[in-house]
C-alpha cells in the first residue's frame, strides 16, 4: 500500500496525536505539539528506549553480540550550559548550514536541500530552477538559538539552547565515574530537548526547531572501539525492527570517507523511507558515530578552527588556547591493565520525534472489515507495536443495561489497577467502537455481553487479525499483560 502523508497528518490532528504549535495564532513554523494520544505514544517511545538501553540492561554478563559486559547509566542535564561548552565542542564555530536567499520570492533555503524544495513561483519547479530566481551566494548560518542569562543582557551574558544532549554527558563524564562504581566500557544515556534554528523546517515533525533526542555516549578503550562501533550499529538498527519498522524500508548508510568528520573513523546513519520522500530516498532516524577521543580531549584542551575549517588548538598571544578547555583531566585509569588513556566514544544518537513519526507512518494502514451488518467497509487502523500503542486495551459493554456496564467497569478498573492503559466506551454500535479503537491503534478490545453474566467469559478481539476469542473475565489482566510482554 502506498501511504498518503496527507491522510496521516489528518489522522494525527483528528485523533489528537500531533497539532501545529500555537495553531490558533496561525502556527509557528518548525514547532509541533503532541495531543493526548501523541503524548502517550511519544512517552512510550522514550520509555521503551530507556527500558531497553538501561532499565533491562544486564551489566553482569555480556549481552548477546556484545564484545564484553558493560555498564549503562542515565543522566539528566540542563538545556542551557556554560557558553564555553559550545566553543570547545566546536558548535560555536562550526555548527552551521549554508543558507541561500532568493531576492525574487524572498524565500530562504538551506543550500543542500534546494533540489528538494519547490519554488513558490509557477509553473512548479524546484528552488533556483526558474529564470526569475535570483539566488544569493551561500552564507554560513549558525543553528544554535541564542538567549541571555540575567538582567543586564549584554553580549557577555549570551548563552545557547543546546543543539544536542551529548555535551551534557561529556562534561559529566568525570562526575559519573567518580560518583558511581561504573567501569569502562560504559554507556551514559540522556533523553531531552534539543533546539536547532533550522533554516527550512519541513516534512511534518521530521525537521523541527525544537525536538527531543535519545542519546548514548559509550566510552571504551581505544583498542576495542571498532568492535563496539559494530555492536552499536547492529543493536540500534535491530531496535527499530523489533518495534515494528519494516526492514525493507530501513537502511544502514555507512558514511563514505569524504563525508566523515576529521576525528571520526566511522559513522553510519540508520535511515527510513518516510512516505513524504521520493522513491529511493531515505531520512535519518539515528546516527551512530565513532567519535574517537575528540569530545573528551576538546573539553580538556580547548578548540578553535583554522583557516581550513579544521578544529585545532590555537594559542592566544598569552600562550593560552583561544577557546579554552576546562583544563580538567578527563582521562580514565584502567585498574585491570594499570593504563591511563582518554576513552574513545561511540555515539548512537536518535531523535524521539523522528522515531515517533516513523512508527506513525509505519502503523498507518487501510483494509476491509465487516461492519455491524456484516457489510465490508474500508477500515483505517494504526498497527502500533503493543509496547508503543498509547492505549493497550478497550473495554465495551455490549448493551447499556442488563448489568453489562457494571461488569465492563469492573474489568476496566482491574486493568487500570494493573497499570495497563485502558479506555472504556459504551457509546454507539459495537462496530463503530471497534473502528474508533482501530484508528488510534489499540491492539485489543474486550466486549462484555449476556454470556459474560452467565458463563463469566468475555470476547477479546485482535486489532490486526480481527480474530475473536472468548476467555474468562478473571483472566483478562493476566492475558493482556502476557501479550504485552510479547
Ligand atoms: P540532519 O542531517 O537530518 O539534519 P543530523 O545529522 O544533523 O540530521 P544529528 O546531529 O546526528 O542529526 O542528530 C541526531 C538525531 O537527532 C537525528 O538522527 C534525528 O533523529 C534527530 N534530529 C536532528 N535534527 C532534528 C530536527 N531538526 N528535528 C527533529 N529531529 C532531529
Written as one string, the DSSP assignment of 112-143 is GGGGGSB-SSSSP-BTT-STT--BPPPEEEE-
Distance (angstroms) between ligand 1 centre and the Cα of 289 equals 13
In a shared domain, residues 181 and 45:
yes
Looking at the structure, do residues 315 and 411 belong to the same domain, yes or no? no
Considering only CA atoms, which residue is closest to atom 22 of ligand 1?
A: 351
Question: Is residue 149 located within the same domain as residue 242?
Answer: yes
The predicted structure's pLDDT at residue 316: 63
What CA–CA distance (Å, rounded) separates 51 from 361?
23
Q: What is the CATH number of the domain that holds 470?
A: 3.40.50.800
Residue 366: inside a domain, yes or no? no
Residue whose CA lies nearest to ligand 1 atom number 9: 287
Q: What are the average pLDDT values for consecutive 10-residue runs of the chain, which has 486 residues?
A: 87 97 97 98 98 96 96 98 91 85 84 82 83 85 92 83 98 96 96 96 95 98 96 98 98 92 87 94 97 92 58 61 80 95 97 98 94 89 98 97 96 98 96 96 97 95 96 97 92
Which of 18, 86, 97, 354 gets mutated to test ligand 1 (max ligand atoms within 8 A of its CB)? 354
Long-range contacts of 45-50 (CB under 8 A, 24+ apart): 45/352, 45/355, 45/356, 45/359, 45/388, 46/191, 46/212, 46/214, 46/352, 48/243, 48/387, 48/388, 49/191, 49/214, 49/239, 49/350, 49/352, 49/355, 50/74, 50/189, 50/191, 50/214
**Domain check: are 153 and 277 in the same one?**
yes
Domain that holds residue 246: 5-95+143-359
Q: Is 198 in the pocket of ligand 1 (CB under 6 A)?
A: yes
Contact of 112 with 97, CB cutoff 8 Å: yes
Distance 69 CA to ligand 1 centre (A): 30
With the most atoms of ligand 1 within 8 angstroms of its CB, the residue from 284, 285, 286 to mutate is 284
Q: Are residues 192 and 252 in the same domain?
A: yes
C-alpha cell at 207: 525537521
C-alpha cell at 202: 519541513
Q: Do 230 and 323 belong together in one domain? A: yes
Identify whether residues 284 and 411 lie together within a single domain: no
Pick the last residue of a domain from 308, 338, 359.
359
CATH of the domain at 279: 3.30.930.10
Count of other CB atoms within 10 angstroms of residue 39: 15
Ligand 1 pocket, residue 192 CB under 6 Å = no
Grid coordinates in use for 370? 465487516
pLDDT reported for residue 326: 86
**Predicted pLDDT of residue 307:** 47
User: Which residue has 543553528 as its cell numbers?
Assistant: 143
**3-class SS shares of the chain: helix, strand, coil, % to 5:** 30, 30, 40
Distance, CA of 360 to CA of 364 (rounded, Å): 6
**Is residue 13 assigned to a domain?**
yes
Tell how far the Cα of 11 is from the centroid of ligand 1, in angstroms: 25
Q: Are residues 29 and 170 in the same domain?
A: yes
Rounded CA separation 124/34 (Å): 32
The number of distinct structural domains making up the chain is 3
Query: Which of 287, 345, 353, 356 has the most ligand 1 atoms within 8 A of CB, as the residue to mutate?
Result: 287
pLDDT at position 179 is 96
Indicate if 71 and 46 belong to the same structural domain.
yes
| All three cell numbers of 52 | 531497553
- Yes or no: say if 160 and 196 are a contact pair by the CB < 8 Å rule: no
Please check whether residue 368 lies inside any domain of the structure: no
Decide if 373 is inside a domain: no
- pLDDT for res 191: 98
pTM of the entire structure? Answer: 0.93
- Residue 460 grid coordinates: 477479546
**Cβ(269) to ligand 1 under 6 A?**
no
Task: Report the DSSP beta bridge partners of residue 207.
Answer: 202
Amino acid at each position: 500500500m502506498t501511504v498518503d502523508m496527507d491522510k496521516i497528518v489528518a489522522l494525527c490532528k483528528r485523533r489528537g496525536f500531533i497539532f501545529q504549535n500555537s495553531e490558533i495564532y496561525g502556527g509557528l513554523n518548525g514547532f509541533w505539539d503532541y495531543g493526548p494520544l501523541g503524548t502517550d505514544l511519544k512517552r512510550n517511545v522514550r520509555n521503551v528506549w530507556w527500558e531497553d538501553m538501561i532499565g533491562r540492561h544486564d551489566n553482569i554478563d555480556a549481552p548477546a553480540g556484545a564484545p564484553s559486559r558493560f555498564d549503562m547509566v542515565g543522566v539528566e542535564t540542563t538545556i542551557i550550559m556554560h557558553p564555553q561548552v559550545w566553543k570547545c565542542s566546536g558548535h560555536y564555530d562550526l555548527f552551521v548550514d549554508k543558507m541561500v536567499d532568493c531576492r525574487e520570492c524572498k524565500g530562504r533555503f538551506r543550500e543542500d536541500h534546494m533540489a528538494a524544495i519547490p519554488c513558490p513561483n509557477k509553473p512548479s519547479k524546484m528552488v533556483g530552477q526558474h529564470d526569475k530566481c535570483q539566488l544569493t551566494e551561500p552564507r554560513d548560518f549558525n543553528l544554535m538559538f541564542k538567549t541571555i542569562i540575567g538582567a543586564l543582557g549584554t553580549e557577555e551574558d549570551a548563552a545557547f539552547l543546546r543543539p544536542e544532549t551529548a555535551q551534557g554527558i561529556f562534561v559529566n563524564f568525570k562526575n559519573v565515574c567518580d560518583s558511581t562504581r561504573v567501569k569502562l566500557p560504559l554507556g551514559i544515556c540522556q533523553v531531552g530537548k534539543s533546539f536547532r534554528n533550522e533554516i527550512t523546517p519541513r516534512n511534518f515533525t521530521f525537521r523541527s526547531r525544537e525536538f527531543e533526542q535519545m542519546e548514548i555516549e559509550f566510552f571504551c578503550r581505544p583498542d576495542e572501539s571498532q568492535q563496539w562501533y559494530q555492536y552499536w550499529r547492529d543493536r540500534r538498527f535491530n531496535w527499530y525492527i523489533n518495534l515494528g519498522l519494516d526492514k525493507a524500508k530501513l537502511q544502514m548508510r555507512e558514511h563514505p570517507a569524504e563525508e566523515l568528520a576529521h576525528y571520526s573513523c566511522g559513522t553510519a546513519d540508520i535511515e527510513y523511507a518516510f512516505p513524504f520522500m521520493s522513491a529511493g530516498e531515505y531520512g535519518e532516524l539515528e546516527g551512530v558515530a565513532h567519535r574517537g577521543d575528540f569530545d573528551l580531549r576538546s573539553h580538556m584542551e580547548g578548540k578553535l578552527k583554522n583557516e581550513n575549517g579544521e578544529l585545532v588548538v590555537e594559542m592566544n598571544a598569552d600562550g593560552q588556547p583561544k577557546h579554552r578547555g576546562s583544563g580538567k583531566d578527563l582521562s580514565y585509569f584502567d585498574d585491570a591493565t594499570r593504563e591511563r588513556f582518554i576513552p574513545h566514544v561511540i555515539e548512537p544518537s536518535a531523535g524521539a520525534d523522528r522515531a515517533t513519526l516513523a512508527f506513525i507512518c509505519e502503523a498507518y494502514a487501510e483494509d476491509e472489515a465487516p461492519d455491524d451488518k456484516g457489510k465490508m467497509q474500508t477500515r483505517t487502523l494504526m498497527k502500533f507495536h503493543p509496547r508503543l500503542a498509547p492505549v493497550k486495551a478497550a473495554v465495551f459493554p455490549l448493551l447499556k443495561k442488563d448489568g453489562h456496564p457494571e461488569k465492563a467497569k469492573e474489568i476496566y478498573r482491574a486493568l487500570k489497577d494493573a497499570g495497563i492503559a485502558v479506555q472504556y466506551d459504551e457509546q454507539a454500535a459495537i462496530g463503530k467502537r471497534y473502528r474508533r479503537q482501530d484508528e488510534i491503534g489499540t491492539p485489543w478490545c474486550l466486549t462484555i455481553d449476556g454470556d459474560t453474566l452467565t458463563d463469566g467469559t468475555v470476547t477479546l478481539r485482535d486489532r490486526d487479525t480481527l480474530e475473536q476469542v472468548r476467555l474468562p473475565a478473571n483472566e483478562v489482566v493476566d492475558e493482556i499483560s502476557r501479550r504485552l510482554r510479547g
